Structure formats: structure tokens, C-alpha cells
């Protein structure tokens, strides 16, 4: 399997260098380029065709939210992970609405960052636990008078173990962290996550958490 191609976008050259050094230790990840602002990121992404872009949000010329929105419209095959210092509600929801598949803070561990990059390449969403909590809380605040029909019960119910995985997944934990909590192999957790997404009819982890909340599973 070919390495995941990553473009680093941040206005701090030292931080980009540190990220590149960290990711260079992985055989399954290749840093193909860097950019110092959103406008440069669009040009570099078009030229380099990365799989994943690690995108800072607050940058000169063109900020990360605007760059993410344009990138997802112009290059829909490229996945974006917001990687920023800030987790206030405005930044979080602006980035997710713009099309970011993941949202991490710059104090995330190296393991969290690697897991997020690999997950994004698979089309899976990975959110910092504090960010996942914000998403679930915002969903819980939606009015009950929504005219949309209530979700139908699952055709195939989740097993007890799948429910355990779902609860940890909804809290923003990675497959590796879930495996450690439940004393399972990481490959087993990955299989459970795939099954949970399929049974919930969700395209990624964030949507799974939202649908599980709507169904009263969380």
C-alpha cells in the first residue's frame, strides 16, 4: 500500500519543520510539500495532489477556513484536517462546515496526529475529544420540533461490544485508544468501527456519533 501523501499548511515555518520531522519517521506517511498560507496551499495542493492536508486556521492572505472551503470545492478528493491552537466554538464549526474531516489541537500527541492522518486518508473523521464533545453538545441543543422524520430503529442492532466501541468513538478516541481501553487488538477495533458505521448508515465517525445520539444509543 502506498504512503499517505501529506501537505503541511501553517504560517510558522518552525512548526512546519517540526511536523515534517515527526511524520518523516513513518513509512506509511510522506510529506510532499509545505505552504505558509491558504492561497499558497491551494496552489501547492493542485500541483502535488496530496491525500491529506494539515491546515492551520489563522493565517495571512487566506485563512484556513476559506482555504478549506475552496479546496474541498476545487479538489474534492483531498481531505483536510484542521490543526490549530484554538478550539472555540466559532473556529470548530466554521472549519467543519467548510469541509474539514478532522479537527486537532496543536498540543495533540504524535500518536493522535498520525492516527488522524491515516484515518482521514481512509475517509474517516477524527476529532479532538474536546471538539467531539462540542459537536455532540451542539446536536443535543437542536429543537425537538424539527419537522424531519425521526430516525428509524436500526435494522441490525449493535452488539454490546459495538456499543462499547461506539461510546468511546463518540468521545473522540482513536482506534488505538479504544483498543487500550477495551483490551482489544487494534485490528479488531477497526473491524468493530467498520461494522458500527455500516449499521448506523454513517459515512464517518462524526456522523455515527450524531446518529447514535438521535437514536438514543448514547
- The pLDDT value given to residue 148: 52
Contact 41, 9 (CB under 8 A): yes
Contact 53, 80 (CB under 8 A): yes
**pLDDT tens, the chain, 218 aa long:** 689 999 999 999 999 999 999 999 999 999 999 999 999 999 999 999 999 999 999 999 999 999 999 999 999 889 999 998 887 777 888 888 888 888 999 988 898 899 889 988 988 777 877 777 777 676 666 555 555 555 556 667 888 888 999 999 888 888 888 999 999 888 888 888 888 887 888 878 888 888 888 888 88
Architecture of domain 146-214: Orthogonal Bundle (1.10)
- The pLDDT value given to residue 149: 52
Q: What is the DSSP string of 142-195?
A: S-TT--SPPPPPPSSPPPHHHHHHHHHHHTT--HHHHHHHHT--HHHHHHHHHH
Architecture of domain 4-126: 3-Layer(aba) Sandwich (3.40)
CA distances from 181 to 36, 57, 165, 168, 187 (A): 38, 32, 9, 9, 14
- The pLDDT value given to residue 23: 95
User: Quick check: do 4-126 and 146-214 share a fold?
Assistant: no
176-182's contacts with Cβ under 8 Å and 24+ in sequence apart are: 176/111, 176/115
- Alpha-helical regions (H) of the chain: 13-23, 38-48, 64-74, 89-98, 110-121, 129-140, 160-170, 175-182, 186-200, 205-214
Task: Give dist(CA 136, CA 213) in Å, integer.
Answer: 8
Contact 193, 153 (CB under 8 A): no
Domain boundaries, the chain: 4-126, 146-214
Task: Give dist(CA 51, CA 195) in Å, integer.
Answer: 24
Amino acid at each position: 500500500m502506498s504512503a499517505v501523501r501529506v501537505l503541511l499548511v501553517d504560517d510558522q515555518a518552525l512548526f512546519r519543520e517540526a511536523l515534517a520531522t515527526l511524520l518523516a519517521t513513518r513509512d506509511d506517511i510522506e510529506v510532499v510539500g509545505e505552504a505558509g498560507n491558504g492561497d499558497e496551499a491551494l496552489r501547492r495542493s493542485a500541483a502535488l495532489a496530496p491525500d491529506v492536508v494539515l491546515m492551520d486556521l489563522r493565517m495571512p492572505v487566506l485563512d484556513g477556513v476559506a482555504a478549506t472551503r475552496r479546496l474541498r470545492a476545487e479538489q474534492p478528493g483531498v481531505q483536510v484536517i484542521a490543526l490549530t491552537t484554538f478550539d472555540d466554538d466559532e473556529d470548530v464549526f466554521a472549519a467543519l462546515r467548510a469541509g474539514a474531516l478532522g479537527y486537532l489541537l496543536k498540543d495533540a500527541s504524535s500518536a493522535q496526529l498520525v492516527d488522524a492522518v491515516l484515518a482521514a486518508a481512509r475517509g474517516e473523521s477524527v476529532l479532538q475529544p474536546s471538539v467531539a464533545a462540542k459537536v455532540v453538545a451542539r446536536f443535543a441543543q437542536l429543537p425537538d420540533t424539527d419537522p424531519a422524520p425521526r430516525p428509524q430503529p436500526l435494522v441490525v442492532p449493535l452488539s454490546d461490544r459495538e456499543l462499547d466501541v461506539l461510546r468511546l468513538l463518540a468521545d473522540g478516541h482513536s482506534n488505538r485508544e479504544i483498543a487500550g481501553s477495551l483490551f482489544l487488538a487494534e485490528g479488531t477495533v477497526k473491524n468493530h468501527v467498520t461494522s458500527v458505521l455500516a449499521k448506523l448508515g454513517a459515512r464517518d465517525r462524526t456522523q455515527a456519533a450524531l446518529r447514535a445520539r438521535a437514536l438514543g444509543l448514547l
